[in-house]
Amino acid sequence: AKKNQSGRNIFDSIVEKQIKVDVLYEDDHCMAFKDVNPQAPTHFLVIPKTRIQMLEQATDEHESILGKLLLTAKRLANERLPNGYRVVINNGPEGCQSVYYLHVHVIGGRQLTWPPG
Ligand code: 5GP
């Protein structure tokens, strides 16, 4: 269950442009792109350009980038999902995190349900 939690992974390669994704937004600090396996009509991810393994690894030094990730998620969602959306960060094995590079999911475009499974 603890496999591949440190080390480089696919999102490092995406930030470095070694893997092509559908980019929705990019600036000096973060990048947003479509999820390759969408769970709803709209599903994209927002990631920092400097690696943070998972939310659990974030510290006070990441306060600014954490704010930027959420505000970027909101702005892109606001442009695409006027009827609402969900913002999710999966953390650790029981949180169903599969890529150990911090990412914010934005999901919408259909009626979502709560609570999640
Ligand atoms: P997690 O379960 O770690 O929160 O979510 C990882 C997400 O990354 C999944 O929704 C998965 O579909 C997405 N993903 C994994 N590899 C790639 C990739 O190479 N390209 C894109 N666009 N999304 C990916």
**pLDDT tier at 3, thresholds 50, 70, 90:** low
Q: Where are the domains of the chain?
A: 10-108
| Model ipTM over 0.95 | yes
Instruction: Evaluate: CB of 90 within 6 angstroms of ligand 1.
Output: yes
Q: For residue 27, how many other CB atoms are within 10 A of its CB? A: 10
Q: Is 21 in the pocket of ligand 1 (CB under 6 A)?
A: yes
Q: Which atom of ligand 1 is found nearest the CA of 33?
A: 22
Residue type, position 98, single letter? S
The encoded tokens of residue 80 equal: 């695409």
DSSP 95: G
Residue nearest to atom 12 of ligand 1 (CA): 37
**Alpha carbon of 35 to ligand 1 centroid (Å):** 6
Average model confidence (pLDDT) across the chain:
96
Which residue in 32, 117, 36, 47 sits closest to 78, CA to CA?
A: 32
* Ligand 1: residue whose CA is nearest its atom 19: 10
**Which pLDDT value is given to residue 7?**
87
Q: Measuring CA to CA, how many Å separate 77 from each of 44, 48, 74, 81? A: 9, 17, 5, 5
Residue 1: per-residue pLDDT: 46
Tallying the residues shown for the chain, one arrives at 117
Q: Is domain 10-108 given the CATH code 2.30.110.10 in the classification?
A: no
- 5-57: per-residue pLDDT in tens? 788 999 999 999 999 999 999 999 999 999 999 999 999 999 999 999 999 99
- Separation between Cα atoms, residue 79 and residue 28, nearest integer Å: 21
